[in-house]
Structure 1
Amino acid sequence: MKGTRRTLDDAVRAAGVDPGGRPVRERAISAAASLISERGLAAVTLEDVATAAGCSAPSLYLAFESRDGLLAAVFTAHLPLADLENFLAAPPGTRDTVRTIHGILIHGLSSEPRVFPAILADLLARPTGPGQRIWSQQVLPRLTGSVGTWLAEEVRSGRFKPLPLPVLAHLLIGPPMTHMLFRPTLVPMLGTDLPTVDQAIDAFTDAFLSAVTAENPAPDSA
């Protein structure tokens, strides 16, 4: 009976289910996120993930169809897309909205496992790699649907200058993301002279609004 039970368990695992434990999909996303944080996106294989997740490679193919499918699931789970979407479904006043967007992005960049920074590094290092494909197919459409829609409404309402949407998005997202990517290297050099994260968020918020607010802005949306 013991051999029969082991055979059954192996068959169940191959089907994508862990007998008595978390589903393979859940374990694989968690394991892949940790490996990406430790090694970078390019160095992680399905075999590595299967070993770390305690499952078989065929079960990963069953759950995700491909490595790109697994990476897309990791991106969705560990990038702050849902947080941005939920917040921007009913945004407060303009300044509070900008500050909260910065806070969500900064939390996503600094939280463990550090999947977000690893993805950005891969995008820069391999512009035609799987990270870029998933970013353009899975991430950008959701950012456009949340952050992009809000920016377009601010322009339409007359609160922001009619700058091209990509420029507005870069001005909003680029500075805080760059700061957080370089912040670990600045701590040993600047020590206590380095602004706190909250101070940095306030500075980036003020700088963004100074750059994009219309000359005679419409009343705030608050």
Structure 2
Amino acid sequence: MKELVMAALAAAKERGQDVADVPLTAIAATAGISRSTLLRRIGGSRTALDAAVREAGVDPGGRPPVRERAIEAAALLVAERGLAGVTLDAVADRADCSLPSLHAVFEGRDGLLAAVFERHSALPRLEALAADPPEGLEGTVRALHAAFAAAFEHEPRIVPAVFADLLGRPDGPAARVLAVSLPRTLDILDGLLGPHVRAGRLRPLPTPVLVQLLLGPLLNHVLMRPVLEPALGAGLPSMDETVEIFVDAYLRAVAVPSPAPGGEAGGP
């Protein structure tokens, strides 16, 4: 039975599912046997296999997958305690799963935190923009600001927690989390901003610099906003108004001015 348990865990990890949600045909294929042979060896039903998996210290599931429960639990813990306060023990307790299950699905704490960040970061919105790019430079810049602003404000507030940890501990878990998603993020942003650079609408700055100029003011504002709101009250612009201010400032900073009538430089 041990080799069948290992095959079930391997198939569950490959598919990102609980063992209970993995079809027997997939487990049999991983074990290199036929489905009928698998059924014969486990006594005609998967009950014995699930029991063996549980005896090995892994929750076979049957509820929402361990991956989903763990990501949700870890996200709430990050919002409550910050990255430093999230342990696999705490996540296992909140998600009602075992430590071996978390290690099997995420390969450790960094893998879990990276999955949480990807779920709640701007990446899903950026991928949607890349699939259907906005028209024009201004539309692209506004859509990017809106995507990042939505991610920064999204509850639970994972993105601000990650950046706050990064500022406090440059070599901490936040740096490792960002190292996983940053290459994909930069590739998408290069795909959205690069055509405008090549067309002469944006200054030919390196993509990381263009991104820093875009994100810097917005990130600083989001991190400071919880402090500014009680102090300034109604004097603080709404988030939508703030995004528009930053869109205008970004275009003034990096857009190449259009030629004005008579050949003189005009505005962006």
Fold-level match, TM-score > 0.5? Answer: yes
Match of 2:167 among 114, 119, 124: 124
Using the size of structure 1 for normalisation, the TM-score is 0.88
AA partner of residue 27 (structure 1): R
The aligned residue for residue 239 of structure 2 is 197
Partner Cα distance (2:56, 2:230) in 1: 47
Structure 2 partner of 1:168: 210
Query: After TM superposition, where is structure 1 displaced by more than 6 Å over at least 4 residues in a row?
Result: none
Q: Distance in 2 between matches of 1:151 and 1:13?
A: 50
In structure 2, the gaps of 5 or more residues are 1-46, 260-268
Output the CA distance in 2 between the equivalents of 1:47 and 1:64. 14
Kindly state the Cα deviation for residue 215 of structure 1 after the two structures are TM-superposed: 3.1
Bigger-Rg structure (1/2): 2
User: In structure 1, what is the Cα distance between the partners aligned to 2:52 and 2:154?
Assistant: 35
Match of 1:59 in 2: 101
CA contact (8 A) 2:202 2:256 kept: yes
| Uncovered stretches (5+) of structure 1, i.e. residues with no partner | 218-222
User: Once the 2 structures are TM-superposed, how far is the Cα of residue 152 of structure 1 from its aligned partner?
Assistant: 2.1
Amino acid at match of 1:71: L
SS of the residue 2:156 aligns to: coil
Q: Give the counterpart letter for 2:249 in structure 1.
A: A
CA shift, 1:10, in A, is: 7.7
C-alpha change, 1:189 and 1:52, in structure 2 (3 Å) is same
Identify which of structures 1 and 2 has the higher relative contact order when contacts are C-alpha pairs closer than 8 Å and 6+ apart. 1
Higher alpha-carbon deviation: 164-173 or 198-207: 164-173
- Residues 52 and 160 (structure 1), Cα distance of their counterparts in 2 relative to 1, 3 Å cut: same
Tell me, yes or no, if the aligned pair for 1:16 and 1:60 is still in contact at 8 Å. Answer: no
Any conservation in 2 of the 1:50–1:56 contact (CA below 8 Å)? yes
* Mapped partners of 2:51, 2:166: distance in 1: 42
Alignment of 1:6-45 (within 5 A): 8=51, 11=54, 14-19=57-62, 21-45=63-87
Cα 1:29/1:9, change in 2 over 3 Å: farther
Is 1:182 aligned with 2:224? yes
Q: Distance in 2 between matches of 1:48 and 1:33?
A: 12
Q: Which residue type is aligned with residue 70 of structure 1?
A: L
In the TM superposition, residue 216 of structure 1 has moved relative to its aligned partner by: 3.5
Q: 1:13 to 1:31 in 2, by over 3 A?
A: farther
Aligned to 1:151: 193
Say yes or no: does 1:99 pair with 2:154: no
Count of residue pairs brought into register by the alignment: 211
1:108 and 2:151 equivalent?
A: yes
Provide the C-alpha distance between the structure 2 equivalents of 1:57 and 1:179, rounded to a whole number of angstroms.
38
1:14/1:58 contact within 8 Å kept: yes
Amino acid at match of 2:95: A
Q: Deviations over 1:112-167 (max 9, x none)?
A: 1111111001111111122202212x111111111122222211110011123222
From the superposition, tell whether residues 17 and 161 of structure 1 become closer, same or farther in structure 2 (CA, over 3 Å).
Answer: same
